[in-house]
Structure 1
Amino acid sequence: MLKDTNLENIVDLYHQVLPLKQAFPTIMSLIIIAMTIPISSTTRERTFSKMKLIKTTTRNTMSDKRLNDLCVLEVERDFAIDFEQLMNDFADLHKNGRILLK
C-alpha cells in the first residue's frame, strides 16, 4: 500500500493513512503528534522573547493564567481571523437559530 507511493513529508503520510485510521489508530496518533512538533527552535525562541516583552518588572505580580493568556494573544496575533467566515460557520452549525444546552 504505502511502499509504492512517493511521500515527501509527514502531511503526505497523514493523507495516505487517513482512510485507514480505524485500522491503525496508534499510527494516526503518532503522525498527529509528529505534525505538532516544531521543526526548529525558532517557535520556542519567539515565544520566550514575546514573554520577556510582556513580563516586565512592573507586571511581575500578575497571575500565571493572565500571563499565559497575554502570551497567547501576543504570539498568535499575526494570524488573521476572518470574523465574517467564523460567524457564518457558527451559524451553519445551528440551523434553527438556537443553541441547545444540555
Structure 2
Amino acid sequence: MAKLHMVVDLKCHILLKDVTSFCDKYDIEMINMEDEYVDPKNRIRKTNITNRHHFVVNNFNTVLDMQIQELGNRFTEVTTNLLTCMSSLSPRDNFSSFNKLNLLKLAEMYPYNFTFDEKDKLIDELGHYISNMKRDSRFDNLNGVSDLAKRIVETRKHIEYQLVYRLIKLSLVLPVATASVGRRFSSMKLVKTELRNRMGDGYMNDSCICYIEKEFLQQVSVESVMQCFQKMKTRRQQF
C-alpha cells in the first residue's frame, strides 16, 4: 500500500509540473497551490484545506479511483492475473519487470502449449534468458513485447530460447484474440435484436460474420455475389 501511495504521489507531482509548465509557456495565471482553497459554491465558508489538497485528494485521487473501479469491472481476476504475468516479458528499462514466477504461471495457463517436461526446462531457460538479454546491448531501449519478438528473431535467439519465444508469441496473440471475441459479442447484440429474437444459430452466425468483416465485404461486388448464387445447385423447380 505504501508503494502505491508513492506511485500516486509521483504521478500527481508530474501532472502538476506539466500543468505549471503549460501555464508558464502561455502566460496563464495559476493559483498558489499552498493557499487556502475557496469553494466556488460558498466563498464565505472556510474550507481549512489548501488548493493542493483539494486538487490532489478531491480531484486526482477521485478520478484515479473511478478508473481503477472501471478496470475492475471490465477485467476479471483471471484476466488481471494473465495481464500481470504477461507484463513480466516487457523489455523496458533493461527488463526491470522480469519475474520468473509470473512467467512460469503464464506457462501454466496454457497447458496445451507446454508439456510437463517443457515446464521444467523453462525454469532453467528463463534464468539463462534474462542473464543473456541484460548483457546484450542489442536489446536496449526496446518499447514493448512486439519489439522484443522482432529483435529475438533478428538475432536468432528465438532458436536458443524456444520456450521463452513461445510465451512471447502467446502474449502477442492474446490481445488480438480477446479483441476479436469482444467484437463478436458486441455484434451479436446489434444483429440479434428483440425484433429478430427467433433467429437461428446458423443465420445469426452468417449475419455476425458479415457485420464483423464488413470492411472486407465492401470489396466484394454485387455481380460476384449474383454469379455465386447462380452457380449454386438449384433447389426449387424453375418455370
Instruction: Name the TM tier (shorter chain).
Output: 0.5 to 0.7
Partner of 2:213: 76
Identity %: 26
Residue 72 of structure 1: CA displacement? 3.3
> CA separation in 1, counterparts of 2:133 and 2:215?
37
Residue 30 of structure 1: CA displacement? 1.2
Using CA pairs under 8 Å that are at least 6 residues apart, name the structure with larger relative contact order, 1 or 2: 1
Partner of 1:89: none
> CA separation in 1, counterparts of 2:163 and 2:200?
40
After superposition, the CA RMSD in angstroms is: 3.4
Cα deviations by residue, 1:2-26 (Å, 9 ceiling, x for unpaired): 3232110111000111222222222
In structure 2, the CA distance between the partners of 1:23 and 1:66, relative to structure 1 (3 Å rule), is: farther
> CA separation in 2, counterparts of 1:61 and 1:14?
44
Partner-residue secondary structure (3-state), 1:6: coil
Structure holding more helix per residue: 2
Residue 34 of structure 1: CA displacement? 0.9
Residue 67 of structure 1: CA displacement? 3.2
Q: TM-score, normalised by structure 1?
A: 0.54
Q: Does 1:47 align with 2:178?
A: no
Task: Within 5 Å, give how 1:56-95 maps onto structure 2.
Answer: 56-57=193-194, 58=196, 60-63=198-201, 65-78=202-215
> CA separation in 2, counterparts of 1:44 and 1:75?
11
- Which ranges in structure 1 are unaligned for 5 or more consecutive residues? 84-102
Rg larger for:
2
Q: In 1, are the aligned partners of 2:192 and 2:199 still within 8 Å (CA)?
A: no
Question: Aligned to 1:14, which of 141, 145, 149?
Answer: 149
In structure 2, the CA distance between the partners of 1:43 and 1:61, relative to structure 1 (3 Å rule), is: closer
Partner-residue secondary structure (3-state), 2:152: helix
Partner of 1:93: none
Q: In 2, are the aligned partners of 1:2 and 1:16 still within 8 Å (CA)?
A: no
Cα deviations by residue, 1:18-52 (Å, 9 ceiling, x for unpaired): 2222222222221111112338x876554322111
In structure 2, the CA distance between the partners of 1:15 and 1:67, relative to structure 1 (3 Å rule), is: same
- Which ranges in structure 2 are unaligned for 5 or more consecutive residues? 1-131, 221-239
Q: Does 1:2 align with 2:137?
A: no
